[in-house]
Chains A and B, each alone.
Chain A
């Protein structure tokens, strides 16, 4: 199994506070990897560091031979690491169409084909293309956020809590889409508090606690070991 992304000895500080205390993790090409843990464990900080919004104080982030640690967020997107931020963070004042087209901002090839493709993945967006994105429901906004990320032609799709605040039915729909995207060859890195749901689609999972990785195991093993789930995930 090829490693697409290798994080080594990553430390992240917010001022004097160390939010990530030296973690190593690797993402296998073509797989779904989940990062689980309670609130404040350092999961989101880890993702923000991968995307360049937060600077690491130490360590390396190797993406298929490219060191991402010193790059600006838009350069990281150009390399193919695209994040769907927590809380959906779509551009509410822009139209759905503009959100999607801006998703492909770094690309100079013809994006019309991908535009058509993502609308096939998310047919609901099709009906709302020229409306303000802020008028979409929560579930539709999450779909737009994912569709927008796909417009950047990611080689690694990073999602921060895609299930947050969504009804169970929508969560299932979104996870189904993630699984299908993965079946098409896309590597996915998923941060979730909804551990069971995430473990069901993931191949491998890490558990984070107080800025450190405390467990790394195949997702299926973790799901079957109810003690682990209870101890670390409280679910």
Chain B
């Protein structure tokens, strides 16, 4: 038991880092569901694309000899902005090419298109990196500042990269919340989510608002990708699968279409996973190890959805305030 308490702060920290990552990715699923009522299964590849943009920018800076000279804060900002912009644009392009022409056809058709787009992006990245670098397993160059730690207490050592994830995620989640709830364009997104026909009769350009929603959701996914790469270092074109499925689950857990729900769902899932990873073997005396963490997390999830089928906060984009 002593050990259990001893590691608690560290487990919480790991859970938060994971949770914010899932929350950022989950936003992309939930925002697109909000406006189109459809699951963009290629979103996990938009996330990976962000991670690859991040590593490419860093490698480029390194090869050019800038990485050691430039201020690390500037480098991080550059990497994050590039990852967000390119992922956002890619999500917009995806909508234009793979989803918009299918609007109005049965939802299953768009879903198949999303799965196809997902394969296309995965293998496109693989092809590109294979030709460009002869390998599609890439390592983030180390940034010294990220590898430093802050020893806050004897049992809590906070890596700077964890702080980076938490601070960046908090900032962008707050920014997104402000954008969606306090700006004219944000109100237009909520209007389209509730009723696209009425929104168009009010003069809201529905297609442009949907494209913008993809951009914002994609940018959040790209940000998560960059943070994922900075935190865990290794990326490959298939890295998106597990985080993508989990973030999608987080979105459902929070109530699909519901923006605060996605944040909450991501956090719950991240913490569950971190707790299970560290405590399962302690609590079961070694019968179940950390490898059961996903099983445990999903069992809890299923239990929650049995009692709250619409998720923790419900599908409130359509029914309540987002």
Least distance between A157 CB and chain B CB atoms (Å):
12
Verify A102–B195 contact, CB threshold 8 A.
no
Verify A85–B198 contact, CB threshold 8 A.
yes
Verify B188–A91 contact, CB threshold 8 A.
no
Within A90-130, the residues touching B (CB, 8 Å) are: 90-94, 98, 101-106
CA distance A94 to B194 in the complex (A): 9
Residues of B within 8 A of A51 (CB): 201
Least distance between B258 CB and chain A CB atoms (Å):
11
Across the interface, A73 reaches (CB within 8 A) one of B188, B201, B317, B320, namely B201
Given known A-B contacts A93-B319, A93-B320, A93-B322, A102 and B194 have beta carbons under 8 A apart? no
Asked if B187 CB lies within 8 Å of chain A CBs, one says yes
Residues of B within 8 A of A148 (CB): 202
Residues of A within 8 A of B184 (CB): 101-102, 105
Residues of B within 8 A of A92 (CB): 194
Asked if A83 CB lies within 8 Å of chain B CBs, one says yes
Residues of A within 8 A of B123 (CB): none
Interface string of B188-203 (1 = CB under 8 A from A): 1011001101111111
CA distance A44 to B199 in the complex (A): 18
Least distance between A26 CB and chain B CB atoms (Å):
23
Given known A-B contacts A93-B318, A93-B320, A132-B321, A106 and B203 have beta carbons under 8 A apart? yes
Across the interface, A102 reaches (CB within 8 A) one of B188, B317, B320, namely B188
What band does the interface of chain B fall in when counting residues whose beta carbon is under 8 Å from A?
20 to 34
Within A38-75, the residues touching B (CB, 8 Å) are: 51-53, 72-74
Asked if B205 CB lies within 8 Å of chain A CBs, one says yes
Within B265-322, the residues touching A (CB, 8 Å) are: 316-322
Asked if A8 CB lies within 8 Å of chain B CBs, one says no
Least distance between B103 CB and chain A CB atoms (Å):
14
Given known A-B contacts A106-B203, A152-B203, A94 and B191 have beta carbons under 8 A apart? yes
Least distance between B192 CB and chain A CB atoms (Å):
10
Asked if A77 CB lies within 8 Å of chain B CBs, one says yes
Within A120-173, the residues touching B (CB, 8 Å) are: 132, 148, 152
Asked if A78 CB lies within 8 Å of chain B CBs, one says yes
Verify B200–A74 contact, CB threshold 8 A.
yes
Across the interface, A53 reaches (CB within 8 A) one of B187, B197, B322, namely B197
CA distance A77 to B201 in the complex (A): 7
Asked if B234 CB lies within 8 Å of chain A CBs, one says no
Task: Give the interface of A toward B (CB within 8 A).
Answer: 51-53, 72-74, 77-78, 82-83, 85, 89-94, 98, 101-106, 132, 148, 152
Task: Give the interface of B toward A (CB within 8 A).
Answer: 184, 187-188, 190-191, 194-195, 197-207, 316-322
Given contacts A85-B198, A94-B187, A98-B191, 14 further A-B contacts (CB under 8 A): A52-B200, A72-B200, A73-B200, A82-B203, A89-B198, A91-B191, A92-B194, A93-B190, A93-B194, A94-B191, A98-B187, A98-B190, A105-B184, A105-B188
29 contacts between A and B (CB under 8 A): A72-B205, A73-B200, A73-B206, A74-B200, A74-B203, A74-B204, A74-B206, A85-B197, A89-B195, A89-B198, A91-B191, A91-B198, A92-B194, A93-B190, A93-B194, A93-B316, A93-B320, A93-B322, A98-B191, A101-B184, A102-B184, A102-B187, A102-B188, A102-B204, A104-B203, A105-B202, A106-B203, A132-B320, A152-B203
